[in-house]
Amino acid sequence: MYYLGVAYYPELWDKSEILKDVQRMKDAGINCVRVGEFAWGEMERKEGEYDFSFFKYMLDVMYENGIYTVMCTPSCTPPRWAFEKYPDAIRVRSAGFRKIRLEHNARVHSCKSHKGIRALNVNIAEKMAQAFGDHPGVIGWQIDNEIYPYDYGCYCDNCIKEFRIYLQNKYGTIENLNEKWGMHRWSLDYDSFEQILPPSDDTWEHPSRQVEWLFFQNDLIYSYVKEQADAVRKYSKAPVGTDMMNIEALLSYSKMNRFLDVVQHNHYNLQKDLYKSLFYYDFARPLKDRPFWVTETQCGWNGSFAAYGGYRESGHNYMNSLAPIAKGAEMNLYWLYRSHKAGHELGHGSILSSSGRPNSAAKTTKTLSEHLAKAEGFLKGSKVKSKIALTYSSTSVVDLRYFPVISDLDRNVEERLIQNFYDAFRHHNIDVIETEKCLDEYDVVISPMLANLDDDGFKERVIEFVKNGGTWIVGPLSDIMTEYAVKYEHAPYSILEELCGVYTKYQLPIENDEYRARLTDGTEFKIFLGCDAYELRGATSLATYTNVPDLEGLCAIAQNKVGKGQIILLGTAPDKDILLKLVNKEPNAIASSNICVVKREGEENGLIALELENKDGYIILDKPYYDIINDKEVSGKIEMKPFSALFLKEI
């Protein structure tokens, strides 16, 4: 079954309204709800006094009407009594050199290192699993809500103490830390771990301390989620995940999902940026050998106290819901079904208004459910398989945040990765992978802006991948930092010069709209993301700089044979057409640039074509296909309307 559903907050409504909402869901083709993430106070009003009757009623009503449920643990919003018991469990935020303890007035305000609040989290998760774990309507669990290092974590005294322990465990001695971080510069050496404080957001900071603080806070989050997941699994066999939102890749999807069962992803891309959401689907899909879930996306507009981000018309809602399914998901849930009548986030879009009246987004849900039902056999019988991988390392994103090399890259790595690399592959299948992913299934691995090659043993594994016949396209801004966010001293890279047969003559952190390079066949192209210029030491030049001052005639892209494979070293990012030439893989189909073409393989084979930019487009088919949605045979050039989709099965 494919799930089209909503986040729903039944605790806000009278039972009579819930019955009306259930009927509206059925009429709209909605078959899944996500509940409980903020409802701790409904289930445990006082410590140790549990009442799950309301949610048991809600689960029964939903299931009787063919609507399944994802249950959420409510640790994102502990009740007031929890903080009265543990007042020091409220998170402390950094405000320059001042530290401010938050109030119990919103959400995500508990410290992740506080043992008392974590014990309460585990307890309510376990009690919920006891109450709901064997209910036939519960198809999965969500731990917490959109968990990541808000405000770069908690700065309380206990977190500072735990940070020092983390550093001592990693570095052993303070002398080793001083050496690895280069603290002798500016006379910054520490005499003991007790002198180390978290980085401040109000001063010129040392990158190594910033990076380690964020990694420490992330480790707290991983264990915080794992202990709740373990508690749920004692009483439930349904898959467990946590709904992640990729906020500047500060938290590793790969590390988080090592101990979870299903990848859950939230996103709120603008209508004009619909294509960017596909990047995250190609990122979520390879993490687990099972379909991922989109647990939140907007249905009309984003908002908090007011609406923002622009209106999403019904066509966008249709495409925004089908796209993850085409890319390998089995669930798409809107936030939210019925808008709140009080409190925070009153301005956010919804399927129903707080008065129970359908908003314009409701127009598409019935059509979506019908189309998914028609395509279910094709989708179940096929998978998205890729021979091309694009690396996206959270470690390197954090490194480049604090040593960005090029202006504005500190908060823009993800944007540049999509714009300069990923977006070239709208007509190809591609996996976006973190560095721990096995490389054996790929022919081509592309690693731009992979600042640190040492994460998860990637360096050794990618060399083996090349020796066995793979193509590794690496750079620019790759292999430029140690695991301690420090530059190399023997060369600009740790291994790339020797491995690629080049000598790096110049490295210039420049880019503009004027500079160019030229392939050996004479094709001239734009360049992006700086200029590393090479002299050849056994490599072959594929492109040289043309009009870059001081670099004219020097190698911009080098190729070197290693074992049975090859490495292509990018001294700069080429434009999309040149990147596709280097990859040298046939597209899934010829189509206009606004069309994404997904190839599906398995018991069923075929293509899915998605129009992403709200304009006319086309796809050219090399053989006849069966159009599943429109129930007809098609071939040749097919015109596609704005925000339309084609599910095409091979005949």
Q: Is the peptide bond before 336 cis (omega within 30 degrees of 0)?
A: yes
Query: Is 178 inside any structural domain?
Result: no
**Domain stop point among 534, 564, 583:** 583
pLDDT in tens, 324-357: 999 999 999 999 999 999 988 889 999 999 999 9
The CA–CA distances, whole Å, from 250 to 103, 164, 215, 414 equal: 25, 21, 9, 11
Same domain, 465 and 567: yes
How large is the average pLDDT for residues 95-103? 81
CATH number at residue 508: 3.40.50.880
Same domain, 325 and 404: no
Rg of the chain over CA atoms, in angstroms? 26
Domain that holds residue 448: 388-583
What pTM was estimated for this model as a whole? Answer: 0.96
Burial class (CB in 10 A: 0-12, 13-18, 19+), 412: middle
Spatial distance between the Cα atoms of 573 and 516, rounded to a whole number of angstroms = 11
| pLDDT for the residue 278 | 97
**Which residues are 46's β-sheet partners?**
49
pLDDT in tens, 1-17: 999 999 999 999 999 99
Q: Is the peptide bond before 476 cis (omega within 30 degrees of 0)?
A: yes
Q: Which residue has the higher pLDDT, 563 or 405?
A: 563
| pLDDT for the residue 464 | 98
- Band of pLDDT at residue 234, cut at 50, 70 and 90: very high
| pLDDT for the residue 106 | 82
Spatial distance between the Cα atoms of 335 and 599, rounded to a whole number of angstroms = 29
Same domain, 353 and 423: no
At 554 the three-state DSSP class reads coil
Spatial distance between the Cα atoms of 648 and 588, rounded to a whole number of angstroms = 12
Structural domain count, the chain: 3
Query: Is 249 inside any structural domain?
Result: yes
- List of residues 6+ apart from 364 with CB closer than 8 A: 314, 315, 317, 318, 321
pLDDT in tens, 278-306: 999 999 999 999 999 999 999 889 988 88
Looking at the chain, the number of H-run helices and the number of E-run strands are 17, 34
Token look-up 């190399």 returns 488
| Exposure b/e, 285-305, CB count within 10 A at least 16 = b | bbbeeebbbbbbbbbbbbbee
Same domain, 241 and 335: yes
Q: Over 80: is that where the pLDDT of 205 sits?
A: yes
Q: What is the DSSP letter of 151?
A: G
Spatial distance between the Cα atoms of 316 and 613, rounded to a whole number of angstroms = 9
- Judged by average pLDDT, the poorest of 384-393, 434-443, 503-512 is 503-512
Same domain, 369 and 439: no
Query: Is 142 inside any structural domain?
Result: yes
Mean pLDDT, the chain, integer: 95
The CA–CA distances, whole Å, from 292 to 31, 35, 325, 328, 646 equal: 17, 18, 9, 7, 21
Same domain, 597 and 579: no
Q: Over 80: is that where the pLDDT of 248 sits?
A: no
- Band of pLDDT at residue 369, cut at 50, 70 and 90: very high
At 556 the three-state DSSP class reads strand
Compute how many other C-beta atoms are within 10 angstroms of the C-beta atom of residue 475. 27
What percent of the chain clears pLDDT 70, i.e. is strictly above it? Answer: 100
Same domain, 291 and 366: yes
Phi, psi dihedral angles at 504 (to 5 degrees): -80, 105
| pLDDT for the residue 249 | 73
**Domain stop point among 568, 583, 598:** 583
| pLDDT for the residue 291 | 98
| pLDDT for the residue 246 | 78
**Which residues are 517's β-sheet partners?**
525, 545
Same domain, 331 and 282: yes
Q: Over 90: is that where the pLDDT of 97 sits?
A: no
Same domain, 492 and 614: no
Say if strands 49-50 and 98-101 run parallel, antiparallel, or are unpaired: unpaired
Same domain, 302 and 397: no
pLDDT in tens, 23-73: 999 999 999 999 999 999 999 999 999 999 999 999 999 999 999 999 999
Q: Over 90: is that where the pLDDT of 407 sits?
A: no
Spatial distance between the Cα atoms of 206 and 182, rounded to a whole number of angstroms = 10
How large is the average pLDDT for residues 490-495? 96
What percent of the chain clears pLDDT 90, i.e. is strictly above it? Answer: 87
Q: Which of 320, 324, 309, 335 is nearest to 274 (CA)?
A: 320
Q: Which of 556, 584, 602 is nearest to 384 (CA)?
A: 602
| pLDDT for the residue 337 | 96
Q: Over 80: is that where the pLDDT of 507 sits?
A: yes
**Which tokens go with 374?**
């028609």
| pLDDT for the residue 138 | 98
At 153 the three-state DSSP class reads coil
- List of residues 6+ apart from 613 with CB closer than 8 A: 274, 275, 594, 642
Q: What is the DSSP letter of 147?
A: -
CATH number at residue 622: 2.60.40.1180
Query: Is 168 inside any structural domain?
Result: no
CATH number at residue 49: 3.20.20.80
Query: Is 609 inside any structural domain?
Result: yes
Burial class (CB in 10 A: 0-12, 13-18, 19+), 219: middle
Q: Which of 337, 343, 336 is nearest to 107 (CA)?
A: 343
| pLDDT for the residue 511 | 84
Query: Is 188 inside any structural domain?
Result: no
What single-letter amino acid sits at 649?
K
Query: Is 41 inside any structural domain?
Result: yes
| pLDDT for the residue 352 | 94
Burial class (CB in 10 A: 0-12, 13-18, 19+), 566: middle
Q: Over 90: is that where the pLDDT of 308 sits?
A: no
- Contact status, residue 319 vs residue 612, Cβ threshold 8 Å: yes
Same domain, 69 and 112: yes
Q: Could you tell me where the DSSP H helices lie in 65-173?
A: 80-85, 115-132, 157-171
Spatial distance between the Cα atoms of 496 and 509, rounded to a whole number of angstroms = 18
- Judged by average pLDDT, the poorest of 114-123, 196-205, 379-388 is 196-205
pLDDT in tens, 160-202: 999 999 999 999 999 999 999 999 999 999 999 999 999 987 7
- Band of pLDDT at residue 102, cut at 50, 70 and 90: confident
How large is the average pLDDT for residues 300-325? 91
Spatial distance between the Cα atoms of 437 and 46, rounded to a whole number of angstroms = 45
Q: Over 80: is that where the pLDDT of 415 sits?
A: yes
- Band of pLDDT at residue 510, cut at 50, 70 and 90: confident
Same domain, 10 and 86: yes
pLDDT in tens, 588-627: 999 999 999 999 999 999 999 999 999 999 999 999 999 9
pLDDT in tens, 126-156: 999 999 999 999 999 999 999 988 889 999 9
Spatial distance between the Cα atoms of 112 and 154, rounded to a whole number of angstroms = 7
**Domain stop point among 583, 598, 622:** 583
Query: Is 189 inside any structural domain?
Result: no
